[in-house]
Amino acid sequence: MAATMAAKSGLGTTLVRQGYGATALSTGAVDMSGVAEWLRGIVKNSEMAHRTVDAAVADFLEFMAEANYPYAGSQDESLTLINAMGTVKSTHLAPETAMAGNLESTESAGLLFVGIQGYSDFDAKYLGKSLRFLSECGLVRSRLETASLEIEFPRVAHTANLNSFELAQLLDDGEVVLEMIERIQEKADLHQYTHLALPPILGRDNSGIVLAILQDQTALPCFEVLSLPPSVPGLRLQRALDRAMKRQGVRIIHAGVKGFVESQGCIRSIQAVAKETEYELEPEAVILATGKFIGGGIQRTDRLREPIFDLPVFVDNGYTPDVGMGALLTERFVSEQRIFKAGLKVDERFHPVSPDGQVIYSNLMAAGAVLAGHDYILGPGGSGISVVSGHLCAQVALDQLGSEGACV
């Protein structure tokens, strides 16, 4: 988001990355709950926080639409979407392939869950039971009737160990979608239901077309539930972000950062290496958006560390260089694990700061999960933090380079 926004703002932008990060493993949904409050705590300006969130969401939706993977939703109204665990998730932005499953938009629904033999990441029978239970207990707003069935997926030679990606790729062929619909119709009278709930495999590259065929042929609103990792919608989101970057002219270098040169409080150059190829970049501003543990932005060795610039890592807002891991973890799996709030502390312009609050490099900013103080799982924000902080960092870079010249 930071790179796309920077390039859109007219800055020559290069992204250096090595492999995918957690975005590609995510459900694809973007949570905005608590993001404005979180941002206000950093920028100390309520109006600016709300303005930034509005602008970031608008730009994100525009980028996704241009990348041919449209999202819907807004930061003001929450969506309630079913996930593959058989529970529901409150979120705000989601791909259009998931939107018909928003339980906020319906008073009552008759859901038919369609499972696939040999594909264990989506248990249609369990999901049906679980959602009915949630409805009966009043834990979801809608009154739900559910049913389930399982089909043999067309054209596959195995009925075991099927993975999401191979099924999604097969569905990119419209003929396979039609065959799948035929198999569903053989097993169920679709007139009895209001919605078709499907595994999150509705096409790897052509999800819009897959959804359109499904809805046209069944005459029902169809949706895919939110995914467990590995996640086809997460991969689609990652690839759409890549397309958005390319569309805005971002140069993407697939390499690992191996070193940097600094002087007078500024980063002067970055050395990156990809196999046999070495890159020497001389950026005027650097945005660090390396994620947390999966992305490699924060590493755990004998302590928590930020591996590229060796920036101090905070847990919440406290600098705890010597804290043992035991103090950051609790035995109860579902409890808050403080380690997930570890990251960089930043000033109001998203410059990482030292334990005494001093900006470390005046042309370095940080965005996304590498920031301290928010837990991807428990909130606030999840991917919403990345969308908003990336947007803001690009704006700060533009301001600094345009007027102040952070590092001359």
Specify whether the CB–CB gap between 177 and 224 falls below 8 A.
no
Query: 265 vs 296, which CB is nearer to other proteins?
Result: 296
Which among 285, 281, 251, 248 is positioned nearest to 396, based on CA atoms?
Answer: 285
Question: What is the token pair recorded at 330?
Answer: 């609790």
Query: 292 vs 391, which CB is nearer to other proteins?
Result: 292
Rg of the chain over Cα atoms, rounded to whole angstroms, equals 23
Residue 277 beta carbon to other proteins: minimum distance, rounded to whole angstroms:
3
Distances (CA, A) of 37 to 32, 33, 43, 179: 10, 9, 10, 48
Residue 227 beta carbon to other proteins: minimum distance, rounded to whole angstroms:
11
Query: 110 vs 208, which CB is nearer to other proteins?
Result: 208
Residue 19 beta carbon to other proteins: minimum distance, rounded to whole angstroms:
5
Query: 59 vs 224, which CB is nearer to other proteins?
Result: 224
Residue 207 beta carbon to other proteins: minimum distance, rounded to whole angstroms:
14
Residue located via tokens 């449209």: 70
Q: Which SS3 state, helix, strand or coil, does residue 154 take?
A: coil
Residue 408 beta carbon to other proteins: minimum distance, rounded to whole angstroms:
31
Residue 129 beta carbon to other proteins: minimum distance, rounded to whole angstroms:
26
Query: 161 vs 263, which CB is nearer to other proteins?
Result: 161
The whole-angstrom separation of Cα 229 and Cα 26 is 7
Question: Which residues lie near other proteins (CB under 8 A)?
Answer: 18-22, 24-25, 155-158, 161-167, 169-170, 204-205, 229-230, 232, 235, 254-256, 274-277, 294-296
Peptide bond into 380 cis (omega under 30): yes
Q: Are strands 108-116 and 143-151 parallel, antiparallel or unpaired?
A: parallel
Query: 41 vs 229, which CB is nearer to other proteins?
Result: 229
Q: What are phi and psi of 120, to 5 degrees?
A: -90, -5
Which among 275, 244, 282 is positioned nearest to 261, based on CA atoms?
Answer: 282
Residue 407 beta carbon to other proteins: minimum distance, rounded to whole angstroms:
28
Query: 209 vs 323, which CB is nearer to other proteins?
Result: 209
Write the DSSP string, 324-360.
-GGGG--SSTTS--GGGGEEB-B-TT--BB-TTS-BS
